[in-house]
Structure 1
Amino acid sequence: MVRVSGYVRSTLAAVTAAVAVAAGPAQAADTIKVGEINSYTALPAFTEPYKKGWELALEQINAAGGVNGAKIEVISKDDAGKPGDAVTAANELVSREGVDLLMGTFFSHIGLAVADYAKQRQVFFVAAEPLTDAIVWQKGNDYTFRLRPSVYMQANMLADEAAKLPAKRWATVAPNYEYGTSAVAAFKEALTARRPDIQWVEEQWPPQGKIDAGSVVQALARSEPEAIFNVTFGPDLIKLVREGTTRGLFEGREVVSLLTGEPEYIDPLGAETPEGWIVTGYPWDKIDTPEHKAFLDAYQAKFNDYPRLGSIVGYATMMSVGEILKKAGSTETPALIEAAKGIAVATPLGPITYRAVDHQSTLGAFVGRTAVVDGKGTMVDFEYRDGADYLPPPDEVRLLRATN
């Protein structure tokens, strides 16, 4: 039995009902246009399940009557993993397609670019996946809200477990862009606060998608760490695991690894999955809460496939948009902003809220260890960590946002 925040659980029917026709002002138009942007060609392993997630939510919202009588239409564009393309797509969606709001993005630097566009053009934007803290803190703005738990939140979840390890000498490896650098900074700060005796003996910064795994593994081994914090994902993670296993890098060493337990990244490893790593992830086949079971049944019935973490993100993002629109009773940007502050949204992982102070949702993450079962990588000994428990107090956030 998975412990999920201790909330009283509801079925998917309750989730759907949350965005059904409500007693409120009717929308001016019969259709609400939502502009959606993501890195579909650059990272299909995550974004394809993500798209299925929001498509399922959209179908449920519209089948239940839409939002205050208006149906939602999503116009989707691919940013090809490039910030410039994402901004161009956002501008086309707003200027040419006349969308009422924006949602989506995956990579942190792309999310930041679209968030800045939203600020400049005064367009409401729900960032789905970008993990950088800056999008809601140092570079946060009135127009941007973010769903996924940030690197700060997930790093602190992992640091809780890492602090229990006897290891004192730590090395890090992360992709050399906003997500990687901010994740390492957050984890180092969190673990050092819990364990002042920690020594940081090596940092490796391979370019995203172009890791030279042999040289990275060699450099890590030379520093003789007792534990490693890994932030690589996707094909880079596979290369790191294979090279590290071949060279014995992980033998007798603890590894703490961000995102590795997500099906998008652990499934391709298969029997090569290293055992015993402490990870964040999504053990979809072992969660037995009513609302997740209802989501899983609906997802599998529609797509004849199992969900990935991207599926949860896409679904919860679209449900968030529906709930915000319903509460706002309007598609005007100021009304959407006010409606989103403090709003509660039902998701397959339990209820969440978007904090008024920084526009960060309280969606959490599962923390556990990796294992190989029947030749496949999986998560074991896991527990859901409520995102609300891993956010800094409002006064600290106000100081961070004041610098913007």
Structure 2
Amino acid sequence: MGLPPAQEALAQMSAQRAPGASLAQPAAKARVVILATGGTIAGAGASAANSATYQAAKVPVDKLLASVPELANVAQVRGEQVFQIASESFTDAQLLQLGKRVSALSKQADVDGIVITHGTDTLEETAYFLNLTVHTSKPVVVVGSMRPGTALSADGALNLYNAVATAASPTAGGKGVLVVMNDEIHTGRDVSKSINVRTEAFKSPWGALGMAVEGQTYWFRAPVKRHTVHSEFDIDHIDHLPQVEIAYGYGNASPTAYQAFAASGAKALIHAGTGNGSVSSAVVPALRELRAKGIHIIRSSRVVGGGFVIRNAEQPDDQYDWIVAHDLNPQKARILAALALTKTNDAQVIQRIFMDY
């Protein structure tokens, strides 16, 4: 009695194979380094019911990776503990340290992608800083979670899995620094935390770049602003960031905060204005005086998402030698202003930088 048809076909294929030949080996998995900095993704609550009340930055990177064994299905992974802090405590010095480590790893032949685990409070600032300063086309992904791993319906494990899968994907290369949260892939340039207690907290005013689903990446658009290898800022040559501060616009505002920041040594002030970066008539004279003393005034908006500050609307920026932040929110405007000041003190050049990035 002969073999069943399927087994007979396999036997014929085996017989036709050249002597000494072997079946094709699966492609080697991408090598991804995870840099841990703390945050909620490394947090722990007192009980499973604590999704919003917990201690951040408690779980070390080795335990974090061990809690998601499925990572081995999408990449060869190793981890480093860079910091163990809640992200609201991130300083400029730590931004520089992290950026230099990412840059150094990106130059290694045995590293195909990098993931940074991060607290969500300032995740968008770190992602934008890396997007502006790390000269690599390799995938760099920043990820966090809105709930600690001890909580019911914790989101950190899946976020981390999706981040590693994205960093391991060749399709993620050349798109700048990415943020992966809640199955969505965002550009670090646009994304911001817009909700403080739900897993769909991170949104981009111009939309996500794509999605990460079951270890696969799906893309729908690409960034157009300058980033990474096309940036004029290089983390390898930056050791200090000038002081830039943010003052909030509101009804009944006074110039007190602006004047205090200037007295403390600020080189530029981000005005988080109402509407189109509007400035109260009670504040305008003080800002003009500060600009005359050499302090840059940058009009941003406190309005969340989907718009941008128009130059010479609301205020005569050309006349006052002020700058507009375009569509960057105040916290991202602070990052770009500090980097711009490492290159120039010319307001027109800084304005060009805000339009390019």
Would the TM-score normalized by the shorter structure come out above 0.5?
Answer: no
Q: TM-score, normalised by structure 1?
A: 0.31
Larger-Rg structure: 2
Query: What is the TM-score of this pair, normalised by structure 2?
Result: 0.34
Report the structure, 1 or 2, having the larger helix content. 1
Q: Bigger relative contact order, structure 1 or 2, given CA contacts below 8 A and separation 6+?
A: 1
